[in-house]
């Protein structure tokens, strides 16, 4: 077995190189979220129980009937293609390193999610909740808040990203309600904590890796996400592999009209590892360019993150010390993004 370092410690995986298993869809749950938009108590409870079983037994799940418009998704992919086709100088003009709140363009190889690797073979654009520069929380130094930065073109890019953000945020609220049911916290437990979320939206572009692939430089190296959970849209180009609860790499192929939801490190801390964060990686050997849209849902910046009372007890003490959502996310960004690393001291 090999080890992967995550924000919550080392995780074991089978030593299989870059290969992964193809498993029947019956082993990767597909959960229907339609009841969370107006179903009865029993139907919503069933969704929560399905989420609990998936997070314990498998580690991730597909979600359908999200309420996100297919037209909105299609327009966001169109806008992403147009953005990444811009000249590099235009994209670099909004380089994330110029931002005070982690917004903007991330070039190829500048992110390194796996500390044993040599950089991730993708480029990205990051945005989050639009917060004015004179907002009290921004002025108080809560540095994940603030205005977004936008490129000079392409036409419609900003509108498409904002529309997607608005719709996926509403779906994320439904998922939070399902998690609250799954953890016996009361369906609306998380609502006060996601009124001004640090939720981040990315669009990603992966070139195809043709020929021999160095396992130290792939689309995204093996890692776990930092927030509570990720809602991923992927088109028809397969690349995603997830580490299941047995430590085996499993292909997570695109399924039309679904999103993939995986648990992040913050939810793992909150649940005392009852729900472990899902380690994953992406390797695009399709011969085609790949685009995907992850939405990383974290709570308000100052939200306390301490093991839930339903997840600890006399025989199961808390594994993690208390922190806050903002402090935890910033600590993980510091370890991942080149622009946040301090230059080496001169010899």
What ranges do the domains of the chain cover? 31-340
For residue 119, give the nearest of 128, 110, 131 by alpha carbon.
110
| Helix extents (H) in the chain | 41-57, 70-84, 88-92, 136-139, 157-182, 265-270, 325-336
For residue 238, give the nearest of 207, 295, 293, 282 by alpha carbon.
282
Please, are residues 282 and 235 in contact by the beta-carbon 8 Å criterion? no
Q: How far is CA 169 from CA 166, 200, 298, 334, in A?
A: 5, 10, 11, 25
pLDDT of amino acid 334: 83
Cα torsion 313, 316, 322, 324 to 10°: value is -90
pLDDT of amino acid 131: 97
pTM of the full structure: 0.89
Q: Please state, in angstroms and rounded to a whole number, the distance separating the CA atoms of residues 230 and 172.
A: 9
pLDDT of amino acid 343: 54
Torsion angles phi and psi, residue 204, rounded to 5? -125, 145
Helices 157-182 and 70-84: crossing angle, nearest 10°? Answer: 130
Each of the 347 residues of the chain gets a pLDDT tens digit; together they read 444 556 655 545 444 545 556 655 457 899 999 999 999 999 999 999 999 999 998 889 999 999 999 999 999 999 999 999 999 999 999 999 999 899 999 999 887 777 776 678 899 999 999 999 999 999 999 989 999 999 999 999 999 999 999 999 999 999 999 999 999 999 999 999 999 999 999 999 999 988 776 667 788 888 899 999 999 999 999 999 988 878 888 899 999 999 999 999 999 999 999 998 989 999 999 999 999 999 999 999 999 999 999 999 888 899 999 999 999 999 988 877 766 665 545 44
CA 281 to chain centre: 12
Q: Please state, in angstroms and rounded to a whole number, the distance separating the CA atoms of residues 228 and 307.
A: 13
Cα torsion 233, 171, 22, 120 to 10°: value is 40
pLDDT of amino acid 255: 95
Please, are residues 120 and 220 in contact by the beta-carbon 8 Å criterion? yes
Please, are residues 82 and 154 in contact by the beta-carbon 8 Å criterion? yes
Class of 31-340 per CATH? mainly beta
Cis peptide bond upstream of 138, omega within 30: no
Three-state secondary structure readout of 156-193:
CHHHHHHHHHHHHHHHHHHHHHHHHHHCCCCCCCCHHH
For residue 26, give the nearest of 54, 49, 3 by alpha carbon.
54
């Amino acid at each position: 077995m090999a080890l992967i370092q995550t924000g919550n410690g080392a995780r074991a995986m089978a030593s299989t190189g870059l290969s992964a298993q193809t498993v029947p869809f019956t082993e990767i749950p597909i959960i229907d979220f339609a009841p969370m938009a107006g179903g009865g108590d029993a139907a919503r409870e069933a969704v929560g129980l399905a989420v609990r079983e998936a997070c314990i037994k498998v580690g991730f799940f597909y979600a359908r009937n999200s309420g996100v418009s297919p037209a909105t998704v299609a327009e966001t992919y169109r806008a992403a293609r147009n953005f990444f086709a811009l000249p590099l100088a235009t994209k670099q003009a909004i380089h994330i390193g110029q931002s005070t709140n982690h917004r903007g363009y991330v070039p190829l190889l500048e992110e390194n999610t796996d500390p044993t690797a040599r950089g991730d073979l993708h480029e990205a654009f990051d945005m989050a909740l639009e917060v004015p520069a004179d907002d009290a929380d921004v002025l108080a130094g809560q540095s994940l808040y603030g205005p977004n930065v936008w490129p000079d073109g392409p036409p419609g890019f900003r509108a498409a990203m904002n529309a997607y953000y608005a719709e996926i945020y509403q779906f994320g609220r439904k998922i939070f309600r399902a998690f609250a049911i799954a953890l016996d916290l009361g369906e609306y437990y998380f609502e006060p904590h996601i009124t001004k979320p640090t939720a981040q939206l990315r669009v990603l572009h992966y070139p195809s890796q043709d020929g021999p692939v160095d396992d130290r430089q792939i689309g995204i190296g093996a890692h776990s996400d930092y927030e509570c959970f990720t809602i991923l849209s992927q088109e028809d180009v397969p690349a995603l592999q997830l580490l299941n609860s047995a430590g085996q790499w499993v292909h997570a192929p695109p399924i039309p009209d679904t999103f993939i939801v995986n648990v992040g490190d913050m939810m793992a801390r909150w649940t005392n590892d009852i729900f472990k964060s899902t380690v994953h990686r992406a390797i695009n050997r399709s011969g085609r360019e790949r685009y995907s849209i992850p939405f990383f849902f974290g709570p308000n910046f100052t939200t306390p993150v301490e093991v839930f009372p339903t997840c600890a007890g006399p025989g199961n003490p808390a594994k993690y010390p208390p922190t806050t959502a903002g402090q935890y996310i910033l600590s993980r960004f510091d370890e991942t993004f080149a622009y946040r690393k301090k230059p080496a001291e001169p010899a």
